[in-house]
Structure 1
Amino acid sequence: MADRRDDQSGENRHREAQSWKRRQFLQRLGVLGAGVAIADRILLHPDAQVNAGEPDETISLQAGEIPRRKLGRTGVEVSALTLGGFHIGVPKDEQEAIRIIQEALDAGVTFLDNAWEYNEGVSEERMGKALQGRRDKAFLMTKVCTHGRDRKVAMQQLEQSLRRLKTDYIDLWQVHEVVYDNDPERHFAKGGVIEALDEAKRQGKVRFVGFTGHKDPAIHLKMLSYNYPFDAVQLPLNCFDSSFRSFEKQVLPLLNKRGIAAIGMKSLGGSGEPVKAGVVTVQEALRYAMSLPVATTVSGIDSLQVLRQNLNIARSFTPMKEAEMQAMRSRYASYAADGRFELYKTSKKYDGSPGREQHGFPSQEELEA
């Protein structure tokens, strides 16, 4: 612990000093939910017989390494692909989830994502079990989910996250889901969650801090207007975003200018709607997102098949040239214009129930009841 804190102090000092056919559209699956295993077996083994009840685990991995990148001004290097934490709570079999995490680590995915509220703590618990004997391989991120509540609640959540994750420190602790217009004021209010970020760093329980959100670039910019020394910021980045309420255009340049690590998410549009519709392939969507000036891209993975598919994409990754990226933006601009593939910006579909509750909105479960 002492060595880690010494490293932290040194880093702090350093920081301060410096068309496919329609019937083939299933090949574009490979995202969360039903059909994941089927989709990526079709994608990687088109001639394979598919049986949803008997997962095929024979997908072989390509040679090569996962690219590494600098995490902003922190001086830390992380994998360009991050294992998403929410989806680790999706498999019914806990051992399968643990195997996904461990195989990802062994394959060179160093960055692990999570959040206090994911699957009511199950995601953190599974990750904690998977990390036993492997903690030194992981750059571990989780998120504090006060949604406007105070510093005390935030610190309680931190202790719960540490216990679930079976560790004595978090590499990156982020304020989760800043998606309401008044969230920045709540977070920066006296006694708010920002004070918890400072306290956790002083206690040596957190190395770096940041915030996340998927709703509106204006909210991200409001958070950044306080000039707090965030180490990282998580934001939705994909080939549709540049043409609709764009985080890529409005927020990403500011993060790069300030040396704040950009963490991309929702490369497939949240639940992969554009992939399912046959508009874009998994490979080109993920490659576009990884070609942006980001430290890493979070990928939701709920099966070994999807893991191996995305590992192959990452291992064979070559950055798109600007002309290629602009061609993609132009090609998908008409699809992006009405927000159909970025519903997290235009609806409450992707807003978590804890945040809804704190803001007086019914949860998704209540709406579906």
Structure 2
Amino acid sequence: MKYTTLGKTQLQVSRIALGGYPFSGVNKVNGWDPYSSEGRATAIRTIHTALDAGINYIDTAPSYGNGHSESIIGDVLKTRRDDCYLATKVGWKGLDKAAVIKSVEESLSRLQTDYVDVIQFHGGMYTATDTDYILNAGPLEALESLKSQGKVRWLGLTTEEPFSALDLVETGHFSVVQPCYNIIYQSAALHLLKKTAEKNIGVAVMRPMTSGIFQRTLEHLEPQVLAATDVYALCMKFLLSDSRVDVLNIGMRWPEEVEQNIRLLEAFTPSVDVSDIPRLTARIYQTDDERKGVK
């Protein structure tokens, strides 16, 4: 297993993490139902397989199946809590300090642990009003209170639209950020990832494999590319090649998926830092000339 340091937390984490959403999402065509007794048992085997292989970061959320994902993970962690770092999330919209604390404590109960390593505000796109509410209406105070009690170790946030989280990142309250960032959605590279690198904030990416969106798009537009290229591996290689990314939160349903992802991780060594790849037309032109020695 390959490990790295998760920013200022100094946690030594595996480059790939076990994402908890699949333990709440039904996919009938592929025979996946974590609400069935068989599906739950498979999910538990998957978690054990990941931990046995050295994956030591698990990420989930209470909104994943109204606590179902957390409860499955808790069934494993009740005997293996020391084998991993655990991250979960908490809502904040319309919640005061007491409600945020209650939500986190309910998560701890489902997870069968007395603390989580990272607690993250579960956000999509933050408006200025949202940011003000989090900072001044109780949600942040709630997490700070839980931290002082030892129930959470580090504060973080998630964001579907990285630009909208910049003001929160600037506050210095957060040690981990989970942005949507992948080979087809690269806006974080223009701003957020520069800021997290400057502030030594850990980055645990959501949707690293694009949640299948890239594959579905190719299926409709260029099926021959999908047939000829391991697009899944390409998505992983892209993120493993970005020096600003610490962890890839990958949803894995079956033990075989864990083993596949570990093989891909172990077989790949980056030859370039994609953080250096230009993302603006002028810079592409300039580097084209530089690479070909044209002045």
Q: Could you say which residue in structure 1 is the equivalent of 2:250?
A: 299
Distance change >3 Å, CA 323–CA 265, structure 1 → 2: closer
Change (3 A) 1:156 1:324: closer
Establish whether residue 264 from structure 1 lines up as the match of residue 205 from structure 2.
Answer: yes
SS at match of 1:294: coil
> Does the aligned pair in 1 maintain the 2:40–2:72 contact within 8 Å?
yes
Q: What corresponds to 2:289 in structure 1?
A: none
C-alpha spacing 1:324/1:211, structure 2 compared with 1 (3 Å): closer
Note if 1:309 corresponds to 2:279. Answer: no
Asked if the contact 1:145/1:176 (under 8 Å) is kept, the reply is yes
C-alpha RMSD of the superposition: 2.3
Matches of 1:131 and 1:320, distance apart in 2: 37
Q: Specify the SS of the correspondent of 1:282.
A: helix
Match of 1:183 among 124, 130, 134: 130
Q: Mean alpha-carbon deviation: is it higher for 310-319 or for 276-285?
A: 276-285
Counterpart in 2 of 1:74?
Answer: 9
Native 8 Å contact 1:237 1:265 kept in 2: yes
**Equivalent-residue separation in structure 1 for 2:60 and 2:124 (angstroms):** 16
Alignment counterpart, residue 120 of structure 2, candidates 174, 179, 185: 174
User: Which secondary structure does the structure 2 equivalent of 1:307 belong to?
Assistant: helix
Distance 1:275 1:303 in 2: 20
Map 1:246-257 → 2, pairs under 5 A? 246-257=187-198
CA distance in 2, matches of 1:318, 1:193: 41
- 1:259-304 superposed Cα distances (whole Å, 9 cap, x missing partner): 11111121222x3121232556100111111221222111111222
Distance 2:280 2:208 in 1: 13
Q: What is the TM-score when the length of structure 1 is the normalising length?
A: 0.66
Structure 1: state its 5+ residue gaps.
Answer: 1-65, 334-369
Among 83, 96, 100, the residue aligned to 1:137? 83
What's the secondary structure of 2:177's corresponding residue? strand
Which of 137, 140, 155 matches 1:194? Answer: 140
1:324 to 1:162, Cα distance in 2 relative to 1, 3 A: closer
Question: 1:1-369 maps to which residues of 2 (within 5 A)?
Answer: 66-90=1-25, 91=34, 92=36, 93-181=39-127, 182-190=129-137, 192-215=138-161, 217-225=162-170, 227-242=171-186, 246-269=187-210, 271-276=211-216, 277=218, 278=225, 281-292=231-242, 293-322=244-273, 326=277
Letter in 1 for 2:133: R
Partner Cα distance (1:234, 1:323) in 2: 19
Asked whether the equivalents of residues 238 and 274 of structure 2 are also in contact (C-alpha less than 8 Å), the reply is: no
Matched AA of 1:250: H
Q: How many residues are matched?
A: 259
Question: Normalising by structure 2, what TM-score?
Answer: 0.82
Identity of aligned residues (%): 31
SS in 1 for 2:79: coil
Letter in 2 for 1:264: V
Which runs of 5 or more structure 2 residues have no equivalent in the other structure?
26-33, 219-224, 285-295
